[in-house]
Amino acid sequence: MNLDDAQLASQAQFDRQSDRYGRSHVLADTSDLDATVAGIELPERGAALDIATGGGHTALWLARRGYHVTLADISLQMLENAARLLDEEGYLSETRQHPAEALPYSGRSFQMVTCRVAAHHFSDPAAFVAEAARVLAPGGCLIVVDGTAPDDQPEAEAWLHTLEKWRDPSHGRFLRPSVWRGLCGNAGLTVRRCEVHRRKQPDLEWYFETAATTSANRERVRNLIANASRPVREYYALGEEDGRIVWQWPMVHLVASRS
């Protein structure tokens, strides 16, 4: 694989941290995917591609719905763990190692393409969406769930970007809902849902451990939170519970289809 600097950083980060994305990870709860597709007619069972599969939780959700899933990730360690998860649940799958921005599949290969809580690491989100659209069969769906930033609060967006880069330097940027809509439109996809939901993050220290945040950057993040402005604090519902720092993480829930 020919990888750019951002892709190499993500590969190294997730090879190193792959064991933290197992069954106990918060993403094992796939109720956000159920909410994303609620009321939307999905394609018939067929081939599905889970891009940046991570721990494989979204791939397992697809398999349980009857899709034959290809697991794709830039991290070989993530792929091995994800394939093991599906195998333990009795599902067959395929694994492919490649970046999200260059998919080694022919056009119209999949009825479903998913990407969950990963796109903020991509070096070229526009290329990712264009590639996803290319490999979708007519009537196929792209599902994206990811952290997002408000369209109308630049201070809150900048604050979150700074925090995430300190917590995990492989972080790229959370995209606003309006940006997701534009990328889909440019790729010829019809947006069927683009909503912002909130996901409670239970503990800042757990969040640090998941990313192996350095001690210096942990202190920077704590100071950033302590000095957050009132609008930022209110938007993210920053607070404390039993001595733990908690917040509400805005997530974009996107469904787009190829006509």
Question: Where do the DSSP E strands lie in the chain?
Answer: 47-51, 68-73, 93-97, 110-116, 136-147, 189-201, 239-241, 244-258
**Within 10 A of 4 (CB to CB), how many other CB atoms are there?**
12
Alpha carbon distance 50, 143 (integer Å): 10
Q: Which long-range contacts (CB under 8 A, 24 or more apart) does 241-247 make?
A: 244/202, 244/203, 244/204, 244/205, 245/203, 245/204, 245/205, 246/200, 246/201, 246/202, 246/203, 246/204, 247/200, 247/201, 247/204
Work out the widest C-alpha separation in the chain, in whole angstroms: 52
In this predicted model, what pLDDT tens digit does every residue of 35-83 receive, in sequence order? 999 999 999 889 999 999 999 999 999 999 999 999 999 999 889 999 9
- pLDDT bracket for residue 6 (50, 70, 90): confident
Is the separation of the CB atoms in 52 and 100 below 8 Å? yes
Is the separation of the CB atoms in 112 and 55 below 8 Å? no
Q: How many residues are there in the chain?
A: 259
In this predicted model, what pLDDT tens digit does every residue of 163-204 receive, in sequence order? 999 999 989 999 999 999 999 999 999 999 999 999 888 788
- Lookup: tokens for 19: 């064991």
pLDDT over threshold 70, residue 17 = no
Alpha carbon distance 175, 81 (integer Å): 28
pLDDT over threshold 80, residue 238 = yes
Residues forming beta bridges with residue 201, ordered by sequence position: 247
Indicate the pTM of the whole model: 0.91
Q: What is the pLDDT of residue 2?
A: 83
Domain extents in the chain: 5-152+170-201+250-258
- Lookup: tokens for 247: 């917040």
CATH of domain 5-152+170-201+250-258: 3.40.50.150
Alpha carbon distance 89, 37 (integer Å): 23
> Helix, strand, or coil here: 9?
helix
Alpha carbon distance 36, 132 (integer Å): 18
Alpha carbon distance 205, 33 (integer Å): 26
Cβ-proximal residues to 150 (8 Å cutoff; 6+ apart), any chain: 156, 157, 176, 235, 250
HSE-CB of 156 using CA atoms within 13 angstroms: 21
> Helix, strand, or coil here: 102?
coil
